[in-house]
Amino acid sequence: MSSSHLPGPLERRAQTFSGRSVEVLRDMVLSGRLKPGQRLNEVELARALEISRGPLREAIQRLASEGLLRIVSHRGAYVRTFDADELRDLYELRIALETHAVRLAAERMTADDVADVGGLLDETGDMLAADDERPYPEELDFHRRIVALTGNQILLSATVEVHQQIHLARSRSGQQPRRARHAYDEHRAVVDHVAAGDGEAAANLMRAHLYRSLENALRIFDASPGDT
């Protein structure tokens, strides 16, 4: 569980080739420019990034530690692939993090926080009504926002990392509809309970919500071409 891999509001842009490469590579993996299972040729990649292999290898080590790449001795680094069991494992980890997060959020959330998240949900609702579906950013942004409300930076970093892995795992399924309508209602219900200070209920709702999301993800996943 790394704790310092997101840009951060105060942290100015990485000033080293190695650091910049981490961000560039992560973006290439998450955007699908590098596909799951694909091998990274160090010489070729270094030339493309206009750096030498040293800093590139450091970046690869970091992303491997984040779970986005997998390194095989003397054979190279590959974009990580996930089977159905691993996707389930990832979701269980996510559920662990986010159910506890809402519990904490319910204890600590201020009136301003409630308003902020409410505003976020309203925007999402508008987007849904406008049928302008861009499911990924909004969906995960809500969950990230909730965790951010705990004020626990370490918990947030861990959550972001898991979200990224899940995004990668699901990427092979293409951009399927993510049951946005139902998810929206469930988000609203979670926030209501958090705002009311009922962490227990919020946690239960979040757990149910994420388990439904998991089932949905697995259904899509099983219907897609395998990863081996």
Partner DNA sequence: CGACTGCTAACTGTTGACAGATAGCCTCTG
Partner DNA sequence: CAGAGGCTATCTGTCAACAGTTAGCAGTCG
Interface residues with DNA (CB under 7 A) are 16-18, 39-44, 51-55, 57, 71, 73-77
Among residue numbers 22 through 41, which ones bind a copy of itself (CB under 8 A)? none
97 binds, among DNA, a copy of itself, none (CB under 5 to 8 A by kind): a copy of itself
Q: Which residue has the tokens 């010489």?
A: 43
Which residues fall within 8 angstroms of residue 60, CB to CB, at 6 or more apart?
25, 40, 42, 69, 71, 77
Choosing from 26, 34, 40, 67, the residue that interacts with a copy of itself (CB under 8 A) is 67
The listed partner (DNA, a copy of itself, none) that binds 40, CB under 5 to 8 Å by sort, is DNA
DSSP tag of 14 = P
Annotate 156-172 with b (16+ C-beta within 10 A) or e (fewer).
Answer: bbbbbbbbbbbbbbbbb
Judged by CB under 8 A, the stretch of 42-50, 51-59, 171-179, 184-192 that binds a copy of itself is 51-59
Separation CA 192–CA 87 (nearest Å)? 29
- Facing residues of 69 across strands? 79
Q: Please give the Cα distance from 62 to 57 (Å, whole number).
A: 9
Of residues 83-112, those binding a copy of itself (CB under 8 A): 86, 89-90, 92-93, 95-97, 99-101, 104
Which residues of the chain form contacts with a copy of itself (CB under 8 A)? 1-5, 14-16, 18-19, 54, 57-59, 61-62, 64-67, 70, 73-74, 86, 89-90, 92-93, 95-97, 99-101, 104, 150, 152-155, 158, 161-162, 165
